[in-house]
A and B are shown apart, each in its own frame.
Chain A
């Protein structure tokens, strides 16, 4: 049963601390997305990669956020230093582009619920 996995599922940290979230995309998928979901803003795209290369990170606060794909099986999202306004659920999603349906379907992981105190 292929699925996107994310760790940790929950993270509580104090303001100023570094937070690293990890994602394992579905094997064979060539595109990885990082989203942030809050009640106020909904689902926002932070960054995405294709074939491990960053294609767009315009949605990410560059001064504190960074996203990488050290290899095809691991994507990371790092926040340093974290702030209370970063509290949200962070989702990773993967997909295969191009693909027959061309809908760019994305398969979402279960999310990391981050609370910054």
Chain B
């Protein structure tokens, strides 16, 4: 079983819809939780990160972490065709020596 599980999709929604992307994990030592966005044929880029549990909002994006359930989510409001990409969750422990573990990514398509 992988440390981080993520549904690969693909997920297709109409423009303007609310999108929910999720990951589960097994390692309770994870403290930092990140979401990366990867456009086709590009490298991943950091979208948001949170430390420990709670919510974080940045424009149309909201990241949620529930450490008790070992479950993290990314919500995209008012989705746009430009949001079409693969979204990878990632997480790591507190130590700076801790490696970032990535989920396999969810492919998202926003239909105009």
Q: Which residues of A contact B (CB under 8 A)?
A: 4, 41-43, 45, 48, 55-56, 91, 93, 97-98, 101-111, 113
B34 an interface residue at 8 Å Cβ cutoff?
Answer: yes
Q: How far is the CB of B49 from chain A (nearest CB, A)?
A: 5
Bound Cα distance from A113 to B40, whole angstroms: 12
Q: List 29 A-B contacts (CB under 8 A).
A: A41-B104, A42-B88, A42-B102, A42-B103, A42-B104, A42-B105, A43-B44, A43-B88, A43-B102, A43-B104, A43-B105, A45-B100, A48-B99, A91-B43, A91-B44, A98-B96, A102-B32, A102-B51, A102-B96, A103-B34, A103-B46, A103-B49, A104-B92, A104-B100, A105-B34, A105-B49, A106-B46, A108-B43, A110-B41
Q: Closest B-chain residue to A103, C-beta based?
A: B49
CB within 8 Å: A-B pair count: 53
B100: which A residues are within 8 A, CB to CB?
A: 45, 104, 106
Q: Closest B-chain residue to A3, C-beta based?
A: B43
On whether the beta carbons of B102 and A109 are closer than 8 Å, the reply is: no
Given contacts A103-B51, A111-B41, 5 further A-B contacts (CB under 8 A): A101-B49, A104-B32, A106-B100, A107-B45, A110-B43
Interface of B is mostly: loop
On whether the beta carbons of A111 and B96 are closer than 8 Å, the reply is: no
B60 an interface residue at 8 Å Cβ cutoff?
Answer: no
B42: which A residues are within 8 A, CB to CB?
A: 110-111
